[in-house]
Amino acid sequence: MRFLRLKDVIDKTGLSRSTIYRQIADGFFPKGIPLGGKATGWLESEVEDWMLERLAKRNG
């Protein structure tokens, strides 16, 4: 299990910061996990699952 910071999520998905947070608010992207202080992380497996779902939708 690995936590990704926002920069890593941006690099991995190709999405912008604002798009990530908008999709979280709309319920389309995994929510971040508070790590303490102002730090937030995302489970790498949840981000990868989200990416696989996008691919599956594209492939029909």
The predicted model scores a pTM of 0.91
Domains of the chain as residue ranges with CATH = 3-59 (1.10.238)
pLDDT tens, N- to C-terminus, the chain (60 residues):
999 999 999 999 999 999 999 999 999 999 999 999 999 999 999 999 999 999 999 998
What is the pLDDT, as a whole number, of residue 32? Answer: 97
Q: Where are the alpha helices (DSSP H) in 1-60?
A: 6-13, 17-25, 44-59
Cα–Cα dist 45/13, whole Å: 13
Strand 33-36 and strand 39-43: pairing? Answer: antiparallel
